[in-house]
Amino acid sequence: MKYPVEEIKSFMESWAKNEYQLSWDNSGSQVEFKENTDSVVLAMDVTDKVIDKALEMDAKLIISHHPMFFSGSKNIIEGTYLGDNIIKLIKNNISVFSYHTSMDVADDGVNDTLFEKLDLKNKSILIYEEEKPMGLIGEFERELTLTDLDKLLKEKLQVCKIKFYGREDRNIKKVAILGGSGSDFISQAKEVGVDAYITSDIKYHDGQRAYEDDLILIDVGHFYSERIILPKIKKKLQENFKDLDFYIQESSSFELDI
C-alpha cells in the first residue's frame, strides 16, 4: 500500500514539531512533492548514496536527521555535488524531510532515546537553550569503571572507537548526555556535578579543559550519538503506516574505515 508523503510528514511533525527547533536550524521540508510512497529511506545525512538507495527502492521519501539545506545554498548547478543531488531528487520526485533540533528535544527524540539506550535512571534536564531542553542527566544502576563504560558504550551504540578525556582511575555513575555536538555545554555538565559527559565532536582543548576541571569527557562520535533515532523513527512509522518498507543507513557515507 502506498501512503501520501504529506500524511507521513504530518505524523512526523506531530512528534518533532517545527516549533521545537532552535532558531538557527532548518528542520522540516527540504524538498517536497505530492507523491505516494510504499517505502522510506531513513538516514542521518542526505548523500548521493542515500539518494541512490531511494532510487533503487523506488522510495519517494527520504527522512534525515541533518537538514539537506543548512548553509544557505543560493544556486543549483549541474556538475556540483549538491547540485547533482538536488537535480536527481527533483527529476525523480523524491521528497526530503529533515528533523534535526526538533527531534533532539522532542519527547522520545534523540536525547530521550540515548538515555533509554544506555539504561540510565533518574532523568533530569542538563540545560535549556531558547527555552528548549538540551541534553539530559542520568545515572547508571551501578558505578562503572572507564573500561566497563567503554565496553557498554561500544555495545549499546555499535561504535568501534570511543575517545575519553580527563583523568584516569575514576568510577562513573552520574552522567550528562547530549546527542551530536555537545562541547558548548561542558561548563554546564561540570556545574551539575556529573562524573562524565557523553557527547561528540570534542576538540583537543576541550579535552585539556576536562583534565583541568577533573571531568571525564567521552566522545562517542557524532554519527553514532544520533543514529539511534533512526530505528525509533522506523518503529513509530510502522505503528502508524503498517505497510511501509524501510531502509536505514547503518554507517556514515563519508567516514573511512582504514
Give the DSSP letter string of 84-128. Answer: HHHHHHHHTT-EEEE-SHHHHHSTTSHHHHHHHHTT-EEEEEEEE
Per the annotation, does 100 bind a ligand?
no
SS3 category, 237: helix
Q: What whole-number distance in Å separates Cα of residue 198 and Cα of residue 118?
A: 11
Phi-psi region of 10 (alpha: psi -120 to 50; beta: other; left: phi over 0): alpha
Write b or e for each residue in 93-126: b if 16 or more Cβ atoms lie within 10 A of its Cβ, otherwise e.
ebbbbbbbbbbbbbeebbbbbbbebbebeeeeeb
Per the annotation, does 226 bind a ligand?
yes
Please give the distance of CA 151 from its chain centroid, rounded to a whole number: 21
Per the annotation, does 66 bind a ligand?
yes
Question: 42 burial class (0-12, 13-18, 19+ CB within 10 angstroms)?
Answer: buried
Residue found under cell 503506516: 241
Per the annotation, does 201 bind a ligand?
no
The four Cα atoms 77, 81, 84, 85 give a dihedral, to 10 degrees, of -130
Between strands 132-144 and 121-129, the pairing is antiparallel
* Binding residue positions for a divalent metal cation: 65-66, 104, 222, 226
* Binding residue positions: 65-66, 104, 222, 226
